[in-house]
Every structure is written in C-alpha cells, then in structure tokens.
Amino acid sequence: MPAYIQQFTICFGVLLVAAYLVPAGVLHWIVAVRPTPEIETARIQRRRPRREDVRREVRQSLAALVFFALYSVALLAAYRAGRALVYWNPSDYPLWWAPLSVVVAMVLHDTWFYWTHRAMHLRWVFPWLHAGHHRSITPTAWAMLSFQPLETVPQFAFFALLIFFVPMHPVALLSYLMLDGLVNAAGHCGHELTPRFIRERVGFINAVAHHDLHHRRFQSNFGQYFNVWDRLMGTFLDDKPAAPETPSIVRDERPRELVSRPAAREPSV
Ligand SMILES: [Zn+2]
Ligand SMILES: [Zn+2]
C-alpha cells in the first residue's frame, strides 16, 4: 500500500475516533442515552431532533472527516519537514507557557472562528460553504463536524496556522484539541450543560444556548468559546427564558434557500 494511502487511513481513523466518535458519543450518552431528570429539564428547544436530521449530521461529518484526513496528511508532511513549532522538550520554553499556550490557542481560535463564521454567512458565500451545517435547526452533538466540503477549509486552516505560528508542547496541543472537541460537541447537544456560575458570573463565556440560538436565528452569536467579538460587533443575542423561540417574538432571519426547505423549517413549538 502506498505510504500516503497508509497515512490517510491512519489520519482518518484517529480523527474519526478522537475528533468525532468520542466527543460526540460522550455528549450523546449524557443527553440521549442516560439523561437524568436534570438533563431533561436542561433541554433548550421543545422541538426534538428528527432521525433523518441526525443521519444527515453523521453523513456530513464523515464526509468532512475525509477532507480533514487529507489535510492532516499534508500537515504531517510539513511537520516532518520541520515547519511546525511543536516542541517536545519541555525546557525549550518556560513551564508556564504550556498552560498559557492553551489559553492563547482558545483566544486565537475564537477570533478566527468569529470572523470566518461571519464571512460564511455572507449571502453569496453561505450556500457554498455553510448552508449544510445550518440544515440542523435543532442540532445534536453529531452535528459538531457537519460541514460541507468547502467549509472544511476554514475549519481546518486554524489548526494548521496554530502549529505553524504558536509553539505548543504536544501535551498542551492535545489538551486543547480535546477541549475544543468537547466544547464543540456540547455546543450542539441541545441541552444547557454550562455550569450555572459561568452563565451567571462569567458573561463573556458562551453557554450552549448561545450556539443553539445561532442555529435558529442565523445572524447572531457567531463566536465559539466567548461572546466578546459578538458583543463588540453587535451580534450577541442572549437566550432569555422569558423569550422563548415563538414565531411572534423571533424574527425569521434564515436565508431564503433554507426557509423553502422542509428539512430546515423553523420548529413548530
Ligand atoms: Zn453549529
Ligand atoms: Zn453559522
């Protein structure tokens, strides 16, 4: 078997398990397999995801993983050529840099995510890159990688930029990737799992409800971890319990091509 096919197979397998099945599976288990009464009451939308929606989310995620595996093979080649800033010797940088590099990665990723995400919502870009992700009005954890082929480019590009420009120890990098996967899966799981003290005291951190609201409202809450960019740019929308997603209160901001699709119709609550 040619070496590049072998590398692709390994990359696909590792990504499938570590970047999709584990984070999405953990969140699926928490909210759908063994939900406690507390978890049930934490459900954000009254509408439940349909089986065909979940099937589409898994299908699109598997297709996206094929692209991610291809990009990973190229990234590995760049790493082998000595272009990455990943360092194995902990004494190459001060010890405090390892945990700080995780925070730096989160801040950079959030900034990248906000602006590329907002750009993907431009009317002429949306159908080509991002409409597939937004077919999930009531997303599940399985939608975490549900991207159209072209959307995989900006989604993956951040990780390439990260290892080329930010020196990270493999432990810090892996911790960050695991955290990113769990936050992404949680953000789509449809249940408010964010600890109460964060929701009430740490206003700049996004709760699950914020990205869930993005799947219903489209033009607000573009950030991933934080809502600082959303607040600065006037796109922040909070999900107040007193203002449920009733059609009379929530304006329909979905692009026309999705409004006409039955699969992406606003939930009838
Ligand atoms: Zn989403
Ligand atoms: Zn979006």
10-52: pLDDT as tens digits: 999 999 999 999 999 999 999 999 889 999 999 999 899 999 9
What pLDDT was estimated at residue 256?
54
Are 85 and 163 contacting, i.e. CB atoms less than 8 angstroms apart? yes
Å from CA of 242 to ligand 1 middle: 24
- The set of residues, in sequence order, having a beta carbon less than 8 Å from that of 257 and lying 6+ positions away, is 126, 127, 131
Å from CA of 211 to ligand 2 middle: 9
Q: Does residue 79 form part of some domain?
A: yes
Are 176 and 12 contacting, i.e. CB atoms less than 8 angstroms apart? no
Whether pLDDT at 258 is above 90 = no
- The set of residues, in sequence order, having a beta carbon less than 8 Å from that of 260 and lying 6+ positions away, is none
Whole-angstrom Cα distance, residue 134 to residue 265? 11
Domain count, the chain: 1
Q: Does residue 163 form part of some domain?
A: yes
What pLDDT was estimated at residue 74?
95
What pLDDT was estimated at residue 238?
87
Which numbered ligand comes closest to the C-alpha of 210? 1
User: Over the stretch 176-226, which tens digit does the pLDDT of each residue have?
Assistant: 999 999 999 999 999 999 998 888 888 899 999 999 999 998 889 999 999
Whether pLDDT at 244 is above 80 = no
Are 27 and 251 contacting, i.e. CB atoms less than 8 angstroms apart? no
Which numbered ligand comes closest to the C-alpha of 117? 2
Which numbered ligand comes closest to the C-alpha of 186? 1
Q: Does residue 180 form part of some domain?
A: yes
The dihedral sign for the CA sequence 193, 199, 200, 205: positive
The dihedral sign for the CA sequence 162, 218, 53, 22: positive
Q: Does residue 229 form part of some domain?
A: yes
User: Over the stretch 125-174, which tens digit does the pLDDT of each residue have?
Assistant: 999 999 999 999 999 999 999 999 999 999 999 999 999 999 999 999 99
- The count of other CB atoms within 10 Å of the CB of residue 128 is 13
Which numbered ligand comes closest to the C-alpha of 122? 2
Q: Does residue 100 form part of some domain?
A: yes
Task: Please tell me the pTM assigned to this model.
Answer: 0.86
Å from CA of 34 to ligand 1 middle: 23
Biggest CA-to-CA distance, the chain? 60
Å from CA of 167 to ligand 2 middle: 30
User: Over the stretch 61-120, which tens digit does the pLDDT of each residue have?
Assistant: 999 999 999 999 999 999 999 999 999 999 999 999 999 999 999 999 999 999 999 999
Whether pLDDT at 175 is above 90 = yes
Whether pLDDT at 261 is above 50 = no
Q: Does residue 20 form part of some domain?
A: yes
Å from CA of 24 to ligand 2 middle: 19
What is the amino acid identity at position 140?
T
Are 156 and 67 contacting, i.e. CB atoms less than 8 angstroms apart? yes
Which numbered ligand comes closest to the C-alpha of 222? 2
The range of the structural domain enclosing residue 11 comes to 3-264
Whether pLDDT at 251 is above 80 = no
Which numbered ligand comes closest to the C-alpha of 224? 1
Q: Does residue 25 form part of some domain?
A: yes
Q: Does residue 269 form part of some domain?
A: no
What pLDDT was estimated at residue 85?
94
Eight-class DSSP state of 205 = B
- Give buried/exposed letters for 236-256 (b at 16+ CB in 10 A, else e): bbebeeeeebeeeebeeebbe
